[in-house]
Chains A and B, each alone.
Chain A
């Protein structure tokens, strides 16, 4: 029912904009990753694989990438452990309070990321709220140093930030489970445990996959929480990229790392899409 002109009019402007401001920058990043920096700190447009070679050769890069993935994996697991039962509770047991509780989970999402990371810093510091509280009630004599400037602080903060992200798709998946399936399972004599493991959990897998993808990908690329709370042992791959684009002035190498991250993220998205399709029942 829509004419060619109509379709062109709605398609062309966003297509052009997205090409100029998204596609071209990503391609440019790809180009940069083959270039190099000369002695005089200018970028040389010589095409070679030296940057990628360096990524493989120098331990600190792939070790940091692995550590970032390990941090992101822990954040993902904790977010799911917090988010799934909460979503289940809201969907199956909360009754009329459901909507209110749902809003309560969403509200922290609207609170500035930076503000929440900062709040954890004031809680975890050596003279922060938690340490002074522990000393006040005489549980500890000295501040616990591992709380701040550690991978622990980064995992805790990112879990706090991404739990609502993990919760949302899981809750949506649970809400879409036809309740008569659950009834049927009970009527046929399944225990609540069996119903959960054999009916509810499999049907909610697409939501879990989506939530896990959100938590993993977004925490993998984070650089502000590690800068603010991570200390030397909490450095993540994005921090290396930031320093390569800043003081270390090696944009091409930074671009190579960023491009690898982009590839990693896109392949994870494709993978999780497949997984969701496989598990979706509709």
Chain B
């Protein structure tokens, strides 16, 4: 009864809140809706009302060699960056949770910094490193940039997973005579499967979309966002809307997959909050 009373009290101001929420959702989705709508527009990227609906821009897109080359480049970069971020990000999470060593606080800060640092600083500092070491800029330098920056994502996700992990299982495994290596592969890693897959998906998507770091580390071959960027500078056609729509659909698929994983991981807080906690809170 008490509960009911206060529920209604809270609901008093909620008509305004509802209107506000609708307005915010409209604000968040309006550009995406416009983008998709005008990918079918016969004439130009703006202009109201849209007319002469057509699939021509998708036909142009599918026959567009440079775009598909850049998609392939981006896929390679994303997969390689994912591997680097996981290979170093998973141990980093274990180190932060289980080991004490001098400079740990600095290490934690460094690993997580790229999450909140504007991409331009990460990109430029790596550019200077490659310049000093006379490394030629190529897709490989972009991989190193993405991989390094995204270790932060792998570490936060896996760190959150580790905190929910039941240590008793690992202890039992060690007591029963398995060595650390066996325990890691047979107990620790399988228990972290969901956070790792979630992190991998997130890293993949973030790398596919990344532009600020790539902007400075690009060699001859373009990634997809940089290819789009180049075209935006030259003049825009609804073909860009079409490719954006295709990207959107794939991102949506990734979210649904990711959300399913989250639900299965049950009780798993959201990645956003975990990342915020990791940066702001005391993970050590």
Give chain A's interface residues, CB within 8 Å of chain B.
1-3, 5-11, 13-15, 17-18, 21-26, 28-29, 32, 82-83, 85-86, 88-90, 92-93, 101-116, 118-123, 125, 127-129, 131-133, 136, 160, 163-165, 168-169, 171-172, 182-183, 186-187, 192, 206, 209-210, 213-214, 217-218, 220-224, 228, 238, 241-242, 245, 251, 254-255, 258, 261-262, 265-266, 269, 272-273, 276
Q: How many pairs, one residue from A and one from B, have CB atoms within 8 Å of each other in the complex?
A: 291
Give chain B's interface residues, CB within 8 Å of chain A.
2-3, 5-6, 9-14, 17-18, 20-21, 24-25, 27-32, 34-35, 38, 44-49, 87-89, 91-92, 94-95, 98-99, 101, 107, 110-111, 113-114, 116-122, 124-129, 132, 144, 148, 151, 167, 170-171, 174, 180, 205, 209, 211-212, 215-216, 225, 228-229, 232, 236, 240-241, 244, 247-248, 251-252, 254-255, 259, 269-270, 272-273, 276-277, 279-281
Q: Are B124 and A89 in contact (CB under 8 A)?
A: no
Q: Are B125 and A129 in contact (CB under 8 A)?
A: no
Set of chain B residues within 8 Å of A254, measured between Cβ atoms: 124
Q: Are A17 and B88 in contact (CB under 8 A)?
A: yes
Set of chain A residues within 8 Å of B117, measured between Cβ atoms: 217, 221, 262, 265
Q: Are B24 and A10 in contact (CB under 8 A)?
A: no
Set of chain A residues within 8 Å of B31, measured between Cβ atoms: 116, 119-120, 123, 160
Set of chain A residues within 8 Å of B17, measured between Cβ atoms: 85, 88-89, 93
Residue of A nearest to B49 (CB): A136
Q: Give the distance to chain A from B267, nearest Cβ to Cβ, in Å.
A: 13
Give the distance in Å from the alpha carbon of A32 to the alpha carbon of B130 in the complex.
Answer: 13
Q: Give the distance to chain B from A50, nearest Cβ to Cβ, in Å.
A: 18
Give the distance in Å from the alpha carbon of A131 to the alpha carbon of B101 in the complex.
Answer: 60
The 3 closest A-B pairs by CB, nearest first: A221-B118, A25-B125, A119-B31
Additional A-B contacts beyond A85-B20, A123-B30, A245-B127 (9; CB < 8 A): A1-B171, A10-B99, A17-B88, A18-B92, A29-B121, A82-B24, A85-B17, A88-B17, A261-B118
